[in-house]
Each structure stands twice: as structure tokens, then as C-alpha cells.
Structure 1
């Protein structure tokens, strides 16, 4: 049983963290665009802001279990199969990307406008302001947002087990519920709780570390 639980845990970690990585690669730039194209910001573009926001809202409104089934053809196209741990990364990434974009937008909007103006006044270029001021000043809140995303994906990965995604969700359903093995069922729940606690505490630690207001 220990081997089965260990394998399921490693599969869940693989799905979650690879999905977070790709979702961050796509979501953080989207969130940054949402911020800088807002009214009165350094790259104001009302049309782009509204169109991008509309698309993100549509993607966020689709329940994960429906998204999981709907994009099966896309998943097959990308990874060659719709079943398995690697295949689950595709819907997990698509589900997490708009969420990362929104948490990035929220995090970076916390950066005081006066700091941005000061950077521009000192002759900083727009790319400099984007990467050296806005992202740097908002990194603590951004880390907290990515932490929330990771926690959400842990629960989503359990749902992926319902359609052959493997991982702890698959163990809980196949061996725990259908196989009537309460030991495995409760063990998977306990492991998921521990994973969430570890991710949350790690995220809080990193966010506090990069929060300049808490550095002596």
C-alpha cells in the first residue's frame, strides 16, 4: 500500500508543479498586460485591456470537470493521449492560466503608482519600469497568488483522477471508493491535506522573505 500511495503522491506533485510552471509562464505576462494597459497606466490600451479581460473571464467561468472533458481532442493533439498523468497537465494548465493572470493583476495593482512615476521620472524606460519596478515591488503578493493557484491545482488534480488522470485522486476513487478500501481513501485525503499545508507554509515563508516591509 505504501508503494501505491508514494506513486500516487509523486504523480500528483508532477501534475501540479508542471502545470503551475506552464500556467505561470503564460498567466504572469497576461496579468502584467492587464495592469499596464489599464486606464492611466504606462501602456494604456482600453481595447486590448477589455478584450483580454473578456477572454480570461470566459476561461475562468468554465468548471474544471467540464473543461477536462471538453478539451480531450486538444489534449490528444498535444501529448498524443487523453489519459494519464502527462495528459492531465494540459487541462490543469489551461484552468490555472486565467487564474494566474487575475492574481498577477491583483498583486501588481498593489504597487503604488508613486513608485512607478518615480521610476519614469528618473529616466527609466518602460521595460525597466515593468521588470525592475512593477514586478519587483509586487513579487511578494505575486508569490501569495501563485501559492493559492498551487493549492487549487492540488484539488483539481484529484478531479483529474476521475477521467484517468492518475495521482491521488485516482487512488481515492479506484482503490478507496470503488474498491471499498477505507485505509487508502483516508490516507489519500490525509496526504492531500499535508500537501496543501506544506505548499501554503512554503508560499507564506517566501512571500514574507521578499516582502521588503518585513525586512529589518
Structure 2
């Protein structure tokens, strides 16, 4: 499955996806890394590692939909079949999401449906939760909604700051996102309503969940 990863910055989750997809048994091929910022560090890394790149600058387009139509055309030129959002800091319009319905996933730094949006780690600490984590989900027009594919949890420690908590969550993201892409690309999931059902997969191991202390 020819897959594009969309980034806006350095793309650490993109790098984790690429590393996992180098396995010859992997059901997805990371065929393109694209960004709304042509100077993004993630594009430089991908190019250095032999992956096709595309910078579609949102700032030169008159509207969000004009930008997305240019992005959609770019994905078509590269014969992309599936999209992973990995730190892509643009809200997508219903037009774009509907073009890719069932073929676009995202990773979010919280245990959805809690803490949609930004500042997730600070908000979790302010609320005093004991468990935090990350979620991979299908993208739908509403922000940070859509059927959940996989989640990983970390304990919230007494001494945590948003930075330390975020670092532990990010380490789990780097495990969870490749795992989720394997599940989706391998055809092991089906969607019923707002739920995903199916085989857990050979790489669904205990290292994806850190139990509370």
C-alpha cells in the first residue's frame, strides 16, 4: 500500500514509520513524505534517506481548500493510496477528509476521547489524571475524532512536568504508530460504527502499554 506521511516539523513519528516499513514483510510502502512547510526538517531527513518528498506551501494559497486541492493533486501524482498524519499542524477541511475517507489516520498525544486539541500533557496534569498516553485513529471531519485503532498508556508521575510526561508519551507513539499502520495496511481491521474490530496482530506486544506504578 503506497503510503504518504504528512509532517509539519521534524517528523519523529514519520521516522519511526519509515524504520518499521523497511521490513520487507511490511504491508505498507512509505512512498512519499509531504509537508505544508517546504523547509520542514522532516523533508530534509526523508530526502537524505531516499524517500520522495513534496513541499506544498499553504501560505501561497488563497484558502485552506485551495491548499488541500494542491496537496491532493500532489498525492495523486505519486499514486498514493493511504495517508498517515504525523505532526501535521493543519486542520483539514471536510472536503479533503472525505476524499480520503477510510484511508487517512492520525496519532494524537492523549487517550482519546479525552484531551482533544492542543496542550494535552499540561491539561492532563492540571486535571490530576494518573494515566495518560496516545491514540492512533481514523481521521473524520471532526477534529480528533474517528474510530480508534490503537492506544498506549503511561503512568503520570508525581514529579512530572508537561515536558517529562510528553517525552514518555512520545516514546510510546514511536512504538504505537508503526504497529497501527501494520494493522491497517495488513487488512486486519474492520470498522463498525465508531469502533474498529479485528485481529490484534503479531506485533501487539506488552511493550506498547506501560502499566501504572
Q: Which structure has greater helix proportion? A: 1
Q: Which has the higher contact order (CA 8 A, sep 6+)?
A: 1
TM (norm. structure 2) is 0.28
Q: Which structure has greater strand proportion? A: 2
